[in-house]
Structure 1
Amino acid sequence: MIQDNLLLVLSLLFIISILTMISGKLKIAYPIFLVISGLLISLIPGIPQITLHPDLVFLIFLPPLLYAAAWNTSWNDFWRYKRPISLLGFGLVIFTSATVAWISHLLIPDFSLAAGFLLGGIISPPDAIAATSVLQGLKVPKRAITILEGESLVNDAASLIVFRFALTAVLTGQFHIWDATQTFFVVASMGILIGLVIAHFVYAIHRFFPTTPAIDAAFTLIAPYIMYITAEHFHVSGVLSVVSGGLFLTFRSQDLFSYDARIQVLGLWDTLVFLLNGFVFILIGLQLPDIVKGMSAHSVGEAISYGVIISVATILIRIIWVFPGAYIPRMLFKSIREKEPNPGWRNILLIGWSGMRGVVSLASALAVPLTVANKQAFPHRDLILFITFVVILITLVLQGLSLKPLIRILKIKGEEKESEALQALDLRLHLARAVLAHMDGKYEKEIGSNETYKRVRDRYARMIEITQKKLEAQEGTDEGQNFLPHYRQMLLELVEVRRRELNLFRHANTFSEELIREREWELDLEEARLRR
């Protein structure tokens, strides 16, 4: 019954929200906590069996999550670090697939190289959502975060293409490297082209049609699905279609939305991404009983040993790749040495250790068909699925929980935070001075004769004074350090005073509810600005 499934979904969403709050209290990244919680919940007797359908992940979950990741990625940063992103997103995926194929072929009896490439394609893409959620709030270099986020935008596409080729090789028994290479570039380039074409169409709608905030929000939800489904219909990369379209739209985002549409869209996507991420991570943990039940040809002990060995190999493969990938181009090309600072071995190790696997790997494993062309059982399907689960669990829990101690041990610091804070203050100072110059040049007469104009000018003059004090505080002066916290606290108290007055007016029915809500909205925006 649909109401039973709906109740189960709503219950999971409620549990996800509660568990995420608990993970915040325990200071554990919520993807790790949700996977472990899902695993423990699945062991409770009487819990309904929940099956994660790969089509559901690829069609329902993947497009909006990729679109949101692309939307939150700076195109300038993405292009600046295109070399390391490409080396990780494409080169490392292929290297991992090939190495895992060779190791699993030697390790597991009767495990063909084609099946090994299939397993390698499944477990090759790290889940950067897990990595960035673990690193969130920690003082790590912005370059590392940008590279990890950029990698996540392209590695899913590369791994799914490898997965498709390997699956074809297993099903048909044939594989031609030249044909596969040509197809790889066609699938990737055509996926990017379709994404850009649809993104231009969406841009035109946002830019030139009389939309409302609700319509703008609706289009942002529909766009990634159109990009993905259209690309998949033509048998090209839906992932790269969504990524390319999302990156184009984020590059032109300043032209798309009005202020109220932007606020509504950002709030909508924050909630949606939280629920989708939470849902897929807890579903990973809930898959264990179904995966174990499918084990027939191998004992659980054997499967665990294979999974552990391949997990360790997967971790080492990434670390082995990142160091030559970072240093060899610097050794070969003088232009790279001149343009890019030395990343340092600590930052490289951090990127190498941030290789947690996630939902795309599990969905790919579940997408392996039950039978081959002659209706015989797909070789080692249950083992591939179990090894994938073990790799996800080990990388997510082991690497995820150890990232924070590793950062502390390596003494990695994000010096960009202080630089960005100074730049933000400097930008605010320039904007306020531009306003002051504009008013003095265009409204000099009004400022001299009209008190309202004068108050506006005085407000920006005070803003310049306050910003200068903040800059002094950044430089360590006692006056600035004593001034800023007290000033901000005073402004927050004034917001609270006005909130209490609004509540009194609401209970006394002095003013209309609509007017009170408008003033509450203004106070919400003011408080958000102060607390940021």
Structure 2
Amino acid sequence: MHEQLPFMLALVAAIVLIEMLAKKLRIAYPVLLVVAGLLISLVPGLPKVQIDPNMIFFIFLPPLLFDASWSISFKEMKKWWRIIGSFAFLVVLFSALAVAVVANYYIPGFTLALGFLLGGIVSPPDAVSTGAITQFVKIPKSTSAILEGESLLNDASSLIIFRFALVAVGTGQFVFQTAMLEFSWMIIGGIGIGLLFGWLFMKAHKLLPTDAPSDIVFTLIEPYFLYWIAEHLHSSGVLAVVAGGLLLSNRRLSFLTSASRIMGYSFWEAMIFILNGIVFMLIGLELPEIVAGLRSNGIPLREAILYGVVVTAVLILVRMISSYIAMLATILFRPNVAPGGGNRRRMWKMPLLMGWTGMRGVVSLAAALSIPVTLNGAPFPHRNLILFITFMVILLTLLIQGLTLPYFIRRINITSYSRELQEEEAKLKVKGLLVVETVRLLKEMQQQDAYKNNFYLQRIVEQWEHKISQPENLKMDHSTKEAYLELLEKQRLFLLELGSNDPEIHDDIIRWQAFQIDLEEERIRLI
């Protein structure tokens, strides 16, 4: 452990530096991390990074899913539930079936059960990769909500397929009635457990005298507990985490303080970044070891690469076909919500974009690594080949689709025919409505005996009424923002000098005032 600690710390530092480089090059950091991991693994003398397959799900999946459920818009999920559901369940099932049939026909010794196992592993697209790539280009909120909602639910559907296929490989049989009962319990039980314990956690936040650090610790415990209790009861831990996360996310303003939300956002952003970075780095680091396993099994590398290319092509083709089928169904049954703004040529480009957002990543890697090494005392059949194909699918989709997706988004110019308010317009609308409501509330307070003839309250009313009379002041132009940020930086320098030169002022006071400046800077940057 002590021997590997410097190497692990160096990996974390490398992840941070690679993310900086990715921003500078305007490339999604998962792409560079995979390549970097592969290059690092070729360096002789470095220790091998090995993770217990039985722990891979429990370490990485719960916090990643929990964070994703806190980030997504529940309102947008409800609005686009049909297309999210079709991509998260039907497309995943269709993809797994297609991979199973092709693998059974094309790969020697591959049974349908092994094919479904492989299909369940590689069928779910990765939200982290898509989110990292789309941050460099603008896409409508509806499109991002569909992609995020799909990624939350398709993880559950693919892992359910994976679990049943694993049982079928081990027992050599598949009982439909038993499978349907177990499938129903996994879905209903997972959602029910997530909602029940999510509600209990919410009550605990409200009733216990928590502060910001303890709230953050609770939110760190919650996804692991939800996942563990659901899996212990043989239901879906993924759905439990997603359901509990969506409930808590939707009620966050009612049980978390502003300090907990501010500190929690920074904590979770850093933690999820490190977890994602480690996983994508592992993809590259593990590849040479998988190749060595292939050679020990007598499978030529060229042949294994060909299998990976074929499976990747099948997944891309299936997703493309499914996207166009979904668009056709929308036009036939729900034409009022079909994108395109009346431009049919643009409308038919939308499925191309949806079909090209199928990068694989964290969940596929976790599922592949969790395959047991032995089965009934014998080596698990084709384990190394399944791992290699999975790595090939992740690598190819990240490099090919990941590097070209921004080009496709710009080429399609999806925002030009979106019916949504542009982000700046929406922000100004919300600010304007909030100002009007604030003035109404302040005047209502002035009528109360406790606040009558309160000079300071009257000053606040006048300030907010001024915002109504001059709505252009709600938006700060770039030069004004830069000047104000420069002023805040000079205030920090003054505080540092004051703390050094005035012995009567304690450092805690200086830090408190500096924190106020930090909050103000964050507020200005979001205007």
Unaligned runs of 5+ in 2: 342-346
Q: Which residue of 1 aligns with 2:492?
A: 499
Q: Which residue of 2 aligns with 1:524?
A: 518
Structure 1 residues 437-483: Cα deviation after superposition (integer angstroms, max 9, x where no partner):
34345438999977644543343234335533557xxxxxxxxxxx8
Q: How does 1:412-423 map to 2 (within 5 A)?
A: 412-413=414-415, 415=418, 419-423=422-426
The correspondence for 1:515, drawn from 509, 513, 526, is 509
Unaligned runs of 5+ in 1: 472-482
Q: 1:405 to 1:340 in 2, by over 3 A?
A: closer
Q: 1:435 to 1:142 in 2, by over 3 A?
A: closer
Q: Which residue of 1 aligns with 2:477?
A: 484
Question: Does 1:379 find its partner at 2:388?
Answer: no
Identity %: 41
Q: How does 1:167-186 map to 2 (within 5 A)?
A: 167-186=166-185
Verify the 8 A CA contact 1:100 1:120 in the aligned structure 2: yes
Question: Does 1:369 find its partner at 2:372?
Answer: yes
Q: Which residue of 2 aligns with 1:388?
A: 390
Verify the 8 A CA contact 1:356 1:392 in the aligned structure 2: yes
Shift, 1:276, TM fit: 0.7
- Look up the equivalent residue of 1:337 and give its one-letter code: P
Structure 1 residues 167-203: Cα deviation after superposition (integer angstroms, max 9, x where no partner):
1111111112333233212111111111111101001
Q: How does 1:108-507 map to 2 (within 5 A)?
A: 108-295=107-294, 296-331=297-332, 333=333, 336-338=334-336, 341=339, 344-373=347-376, 375-413=377-415, 415=418, 419-443=422-446, 452-469=456-473, 484-507=477-500
Counterpart Cα distance in 1 of 2:26 and 2:71: 24
Counterpart Cα distance in 2 of 1:252 and 1:137: 30
Structure 1 residues 388-424: Cα deviation after superposition (integer angstroms, max 9, x where no partner):
1111110111100010111122232265775332232
Taking structure 1 as the reference length, the TM-score comes to 0.92
Verify the 8 A CA contact 2:373 2:380 in the aligned structure 1: yes
Q: Which residue of 1 aligns with 2:344?
A: none
Verify the 8 A CA contact 1:54 1:366 in the aligned structure 2: yes
Shift, 1:341, TM fit: 4.8
Verify the 8 A CA contact 1:51 1:290 in the aligned structure 2: no
Verify the 8 A CA contact 2:100 2:115 in the aligned structure 1: yes
Counterpart Cα distance in 2 of 1:371 and 1:490: 64
Verify the 8 A CA contact 1:323 1:348 in the aligned structure 2: yes
Deviating 4+ runs (over 6 angstroms):
444-450
Q: Which residue of 1 aligns with 2:61?
A: 62
Counterpart Cα distance in 1 of 2:247 and 2:522: 28
- Look up the equivalent residue of 1:434 and give its one-letter code: E
Counterpart Cα distance in 2 of 1:357 and 1:176: 30
Counterpart Cα distance in 1 of 2:497 and 2:245: 46
Shift, 1:228, TM fit: 0.2
Q: 1:196 to 1:448 in 2, by over 3 A?
A: closer
- Look up the equivalent residue of 1:530 and give its one-letter code: I
Counterpart Cα distance in 2 of 1:139 and 1:284: 28
Task: State the superposition RMSD in angstroms.
Answer: 2.2
Verify the 8 A CA contact 1:30 1:133 in the aligned structure 2: yes
Counterpart Cα distance in 1 of 2:104 and 2:331: 35
Counterpart Cα distance in 1 of 2:82 and 2:177: 24
Count of residues paired in the alignment: 516
Q: Which residue of 2 aligns with 1:30?
A: 29
Verify the 8 A CA contact 2:359 2:394 in the aligned structure 1: yes
Q: 1:125 to 1:438 in 2, by over 3 A?
A: closer
Q: 1:518 to 1:31 in 2, by over 3 A?
A: same
Counterpart Cα distance in 2 of 1:345 and 1:129: 26
Structure 1 residues 10-51: Cα deviation after superposition (integer angstroms, max 9, x where no partner):
221111111111111111111111011111111122222212
Verify the 8 A CA contact 2:129 2:402 in the aligned structure 1: yes
Shift, 1:339, TM fit: 5.2
Counterpart Cα distance in 2 of 1:469 and 1:102: 62
Shift, 1:256, TM fit: 1.3
Q: Is the partner of 2:43 in helix, strand or coil?
A: coil
Verify the 8 A CA contact 1:31 1:278 in the aligned structure 2: yes
Q: Which residue of 1 aligns with 2:89?
A: 90
Verify the 8 A CA contact 1:52 1:283 in the aligned structure 2: no
Q: 1:297 to 1:387 in 2, by over 3 A?
A: same
Q: Is the partner of 1:368 in helix, strand or coil?
A: coil
Counterpart Cα distance in 2 of 1:234 and 1:358: 27
Counterpart Cα distance in 1 of 2:444 and 2:227: 51
Counterpart Cα distance in 1 of 2:480 and 2:43: 53
Structure 1 residues 203-253: Cα deviation after superposition (integer angstroms, max 9, x where no partner):
101123221111111110000000000011111110000000001111111
Q: 1:315 to 1:339 in 2, by over 3 A?
A: closer
Q: 1:519 to 1:417 in 2, by over 3 A?
A: farther
Q: 1:173 to 1:441 in 2, by over 3 A?
A: closer
Q: Which residue of 2 aligns with 1:17?
A: 16
Q: 1:450 to 1:242 in 2, by over 3 A?
A: closer
- Look up the equivalent residue of 1:527 and give its one-letter code: E
Counterpart Cα distance in 2 of 1:252 and 1:437: 25
Counterpart Cα distance in 2 of 1:247 and 1:448: 43
